[in-house]
Amino acid sequence: MTQSDSDSDPEPAYMRFFPYDAPYEHQREAMGTIADALGDGRDVLFEGACGTGKTLAALAPALDHARRTGKTVVITTNVHQQTRQFVEEARAITRQEPIRSVVFRGKGSMCHIDVGYEECQALRDTTRDLVEAEQERGELGERGEELLDEAQSGEEGAAEGRQAVMEELDALDEELAELHEAATCEHYYNNLVGDTDEFYEWLFEDVRTPDEIYERAGDEGFCGYELLKEGMEGIDLAVCNYRHLLDPVIREQFFRWLGRDPEDVVVVFDEAHNLESAAREYAARTLTETTVDSALGELEETDDPRVGPAENVLEAFREALVGTYDEALAFGEREGVGEDWYDLSITNERGRDDLTLAFLDAYTGKGIHGDLDRALELGEDLDRQYEEAYKDGETRTRKECRVLQAATFVDDWLRDSDEEGQYPVVSVRRPAAGDGDADDDPIYGRAELYTCIPRRVTRPLFEELHASVLMSATLRPFDVLADVLGLSEGAVDDRDPEVADDPVAMAYGEQFPEERRRTYAVDVPALFASKRDDPAVQRRVAEALSDAVEFTPGNTLAFFPSYREAERYHDLLDGSATRYLDRPGERADDLRRRFTDDDDAVLLTSLWGTLAEGVSFDGDDARTVVVVGVPYPHLDDRTEAVQEAYETAFGDGADVDDPGWKYAVEVPTVRKTRQALGRVVRSPSDFGVRVLLDERYTERARREMSKYSVSGSFPAEERVEHIDVEPGKLKFAMLNFYSDMDAWAGAPPAP
């Protein structure tokens, strides 16, 4: 095709949803591929380097497909900063091609009276009953007035009809009096009786954030959360977090609010490399010892023949839980238990885990499954009673049924704890001390069913949806991702998308000028866990890191395997740069702002923290990024359980040695590293240096210590850009690069 022929071709229809002058060439190609895939109802795996416009490349064809076929697009992430970016992109789109959008957030952060989910549900029901009764009374009153006029005019039967209406009104007034005494929600009441047209006009004039909706609804006396739910039907685009899609119960409600069946929804998953861990989180089921105690206390106050069977089951489970963690705690280990949950291994070689065996041994009833069925029935009945009591105003809060919670978990445990991919675990913690010493407080336990293989959660979702687009800067290897998430039983070739069965896979590496970036793999000693406390190793790493900071004309980001390591090197660094330390549990927004406002600073943080992905450090915000060490997660029993599950699930067909380690540990770890490297060099005009500070990233390690090398887990086109350097030569390499970029405001530092 000639250039003139190309220029004369009409723009694809989806370009009406692209709000800027022209896409990058790779964006244009990606949009065409995604449009074709959505037309065929196929999923898409879309990897694109950071800053290459993945969001619009996915949204434009998705919105066009949805507009033409009567579907809704949902874009979702688990990274808070990305939600802000979605809002900005959606606002840009709607200024060119108007779309109806809703940015959805959990109820807890949008409730004006700060009640929990169960209480909110009961309040809604009672409030709706009140409004319906008031409306019915109004209609009956009008009918009574009409019948009075008819009776006064002498119409036959009118007087008798009016008398019947008056009797209904009397009964309704009694019902209304009771409803007025019951617990209701004033904000939701205003939703039902007020004029909300102006609110919805305002909502869909632009793309409103949850904070804006909360403030506007509060000013007008409405419940913004409920108005969003009522106004979502038929929208073009919904923005939400992963929970709305990955939690099966919430997902069903969410689709109902959209007014769509799952097959009429296209979902774009951003930062999709996080789907694996997020699915495990939402699949976890837990039961604490304190909940069992509450359930047993609940049974003591209940007069019902099913109490005995329920107590048989729950008392046995509590006895087994306590006995299991007492037995599992080694000498002196109990004293070290703190406020965080501390896992204890309960696996054994006898088929079932220690807790299950102890439970079966402790149970003394006539039939465990029959008793469980009665406990579940009783729990469901009690739960209904609590809801009615709250709705009728007999209680000020909506009581949760602990019997139902406990019996449901025990039923799940017996059924699922020995299934492939499920890891049963017992944990203990010590509650925070009040005025006394925490060591004086007793520990208590928790049973948990941990899901090792996320496809148990994600596969049903992908099977229901019309199609999905999974996008991230770090998705490859695609075949691993497809296997782990259950996207396809077929093979996915990450080298040639054309041979992919399902889904479609495409990857776009760095699109910006290669001469404006450098990636150095520095041959310092590997930060193995056994070597991290070695002063000689620390000194060599700190010297190389200090050189990277000193020879950066601006700010440096430094990522570590943990916050503890970040703090260690914060204290070991030399040089004049201002040091900023990110700490766990503290908000990073203010820290990030102070860092980017500086012009000669280093920010030290954990690679598992909030700043390693979904956050841009454009231009002068940060010039150099350093990843210190290989940030493997803490290799505990859960991680080993995931490795074993992956080995069992994928071992036969895998083309790598030890697929459990590769899929469960190494690939996610390298994805984290690649995400961190992508924090800098975010546009064609940007420039910067990425430093990998650990010998395991070098090509030498790949040749000489292949067992420990991670270089081979990087995509080939990224790996060829890695330049191995000796620690003492890093500063010369950086000085030369930044001099070529004319980046020094004055004279550069002397090496």
Answer for the pair 406, 287: CB distance below 8 angstroms, yes or no: yes
Q: 504: which DSSP letter? A: E
pLDDT at 705: 84
pLDDT in tens, 339-365: 889 999 898 877 789 999 999 999 999
Task: Identify the CA nearest to 487 among candidates 55, 39, 66, 44.
Answer: 44
CATH of 514-740 among 3.40.50.300, 3.40.50.1220, 3.40.190.170, 3.30.365.10: 3.40.50.300
Per the model's pLDDT, the better-predicted residue between 51 and 347 turns out to be 347
pLDDT computed for residue 501 by the predictor: 53
Residue 575 has pLDDT above 80, yes or no: yes
Q: What are the extents of the domains in the chain?
A: 13-104+232-270+476-508, 117-195, 285-451, 514-740
Give CA–CA dist 60/410, Å, rounded: 47
Token pair, residue 205, equals 């004039």
The predicted model gives 186-202 an average pLDDT of 94
Distance separating alpha carbons of residues 710 and 581, to the nearest angstrom:
27
- The SS3 of residue 616 is coil
User: CA 419, 421, 427 angle in degrees (round to 5)?
Assistant: 90
Q: Which helix (H) or strand (E) holds 596?
A: helix 589-597
Do the strands 444-451 and 422-429 form a parallel or antiparallel pair, or are they unpaired? antiparallel
CA distances in angstroms from 167 to 80, 137, 144, 695, listed in the order given: 57, 12, 11, 88
Tell me what pLDDT residue 342 has.
94
The length of the chain is 751
Of residues 655 and 506, the one with the higher pLDDT is 506
Give pLDDT tens digits for 115-131. Answer: 877 788 788 888 888 98
Distance CA 504, CA 590 (A): 40
Instruction: Report which listed range, 139-153, 317-331, 658-672, is most confident.
Output: 317-331
Residue 492 has pLDDT above 50, yes or no: no
- Using the predicted structure, report yes or no on whether residue 499 has a pLDDT greater than 50: no
Q: What residues does 507 pair with on adjacent strands?
A: 47
CB burial readout 478-491, b (16+ within 10 A) else e = bbbbbbbbbbbeee
* DSSP assignments along 421-435, one per residue: TEEEEEEEE-PPPSS
- Inform me whether the pLDDT recorded for 685 exceeds 80: yes
Between 422 and 733, whose confidence is greater? 733
| Per-residue model confidence as pLDDT tens digits over 599-636 | 999 999 999 888 888 788 889 999 999 999 999 988 88
What integer best gives the mean pLDDT of the chain?
Answer: 89
Q: Report the C-alpha gap between 465 and 267 in whole angstroms.
A: 8
pLDDT tens digits, one per residue of 257-314: 999 999 999 999 999 999 998 988 888 899 999 999 999 999 999 999 999 999 999 9
Which of 136, 147, 213, 133 minimizes the C-alpha distance to 179? 133
- Tell me how far apart the alpha carbons of residues 374 and 95 are, in angstroms, rounded to a whole number: 58
Q: What percent of the chain has pLDDT over 70?
A: 95
Both structure tokens of 490: 């077929």
Q: Is the dihedral of CA 369, 375, 381, 383 positive or negative?
A: negative
Sheet with strand 624-628: strands edge to edge: 578-581, 601-606, 556-560, 624-628, 688-693, 517-522, 722-725
DSSP for 47-66, written as a single string: EE-TTS-HHHHHHHHHHHHH
Sheet holding 44-48, edge to edge: 101-103, 237-241, 72-77, 265-269, 467-472, 44-48, 504-508
What is the percent of the chain where pLDDT is above 90? 58
416 in helix, strand or coil? helix
The class that CATH gives domain 285-451 is mainly alpha
Q: Please give the average per-residue pLDDT across 216-223, as a whole number.
A: 95
Peptide bond before 535: cis, by omega within 30 degrees of 0? no
Q: Using one digit for the tens of pLDDT, what is the confidence trace for 544-570? A: 999 999 999 999 999 999 999 999 999
- pLDDT bucket at 155, cuts 50 / 70 / 90: confident
Question: In 156-272, which residue ranges form alpha helices assigned H by DSSP?
Answer: 158-181, 186-193, 197-205, 210-220, 224-231, 243-246, 248-258
Across 507-536, average pLDDT: 92
Residue 200 has pLDDT above 90, yes or no: yes
pLDDT at 652 over 80: no
- The pLDDT-based confidence of 1 (bands split at 50, 70, 90) is very low
**Residue whose pair of structure tokens reads 């837990």 in the numeric block:** 286
Spatial separation of the C-alpha atoms in residues 183 and 179, rounded to whole Å: 8
Which residue would you say has higher pLDDT here, 238 or 420? 238
Q: Is the fold of 13-104+232-270+476-508 the same as that of 514-740?
A: yes
Backbone angles phi, psi at 69, to 5 degrees: -115, 5
60-85 pLDDT per residue, tens? 999 999 999 999 999 999 877 788 88
Mean pLDDT over 40-65 rounds to 92
Cis peptide before 659 (omega within 30 of 0): no
238-252 pLDDT, tens digit per residue, is 999 999 999 888 898
Q: Which residues pair with 76 in a beta bridge?
A: 240, 269
Band (pLDDT 50/70/90 cuts) for residue 729 is very high
The structure tokens listed for 727 are 């620690």
Contact 448, 644 (CB under 8 A): no
**Nearest-5° Cα angle at 610, 609 to 614:** 130
Closest CA to 423 of 350, 344, 315: 344
Angle CA 19–681–63, to nearest 5:
25
Separation CA 642–CA 661 (nearest Å): 9
Tokens (6 digits) for 420:
């492939």
Among 112-121, 368-377, 399-408, 449-458, the least confident range: 112-121
Q: What spatial distance separates the first Cα and last Cα of the chain, rounded to whole Å?
A: 54
Q: Which two tokens stand for residue 416?
A: 């699922």
d(CA 368, CA 502): 45
Which residue has better confidence, 129 or 737? Answer: 737
Please tell me the distance from the alpha carbon of residue 467 to that of residue 744, in angstroms, as a whole number. Answer: 49
Quick check: helix, strand or coil at residue 557? strand
Which DSSP category does 707 fall into? T
Helix boundaries (H) for 268-367: 275-283, 289-300, 307-328, 354-362
| Integer angstrom CA distances of residue 427 from 283, 329, 338, 343, 423 | 17, 10, 11, 4, 13
Non-local (6+) Cβ contacts of 86 within 8 A are 55, 75, 77, 103, 239, 270
pLDDT in tens, 376-389: 999 999 999 988 88
The encoded tokens of residue 602 equal 């280093």
> Distance between CA atoms of 170 and 290, rounded to whole angstroms?
48
- For domain 13-104+232-270+476-508, the question of CATH label 1.10.540.10 is answered with no
**In the prediction, which pLDDT does 511 show?**
78
C-alpha 556: how far from chain center = 28
**pLDDT of 434 higher than 70:** no
- The answer to whether residue 654 scores a pLDDT higher than 80 is no
Which residue do the tokens 């022929």 mark?
Answer: 5
Residues 6 or more apart whose Cβ sits within 8 Å of residue 483: 455, 649, 650, 663
Q: How far apart are CA 739 and CA 746, in angstroms?
A: 11
- Cβ count near 647 (within 10 Å): 18
Nearest CA to 691 out of 745, 750, 737 is that of 737
pLDDT at residue 496 is higher than 60:
no
Task: Give this prediction's pTM.
Answer: 0.81
Q: Categorize the per-residue pLDDT at 518 as very low, low, confident or very high, splitting at 50, 70 and 90.
A: very high
Which of 616, 623, 615, 572 minimizes the C-alpha distance to 598? 623
User: How confident is the model over 492-498, as a mean pLDDT?
Assistant: 43
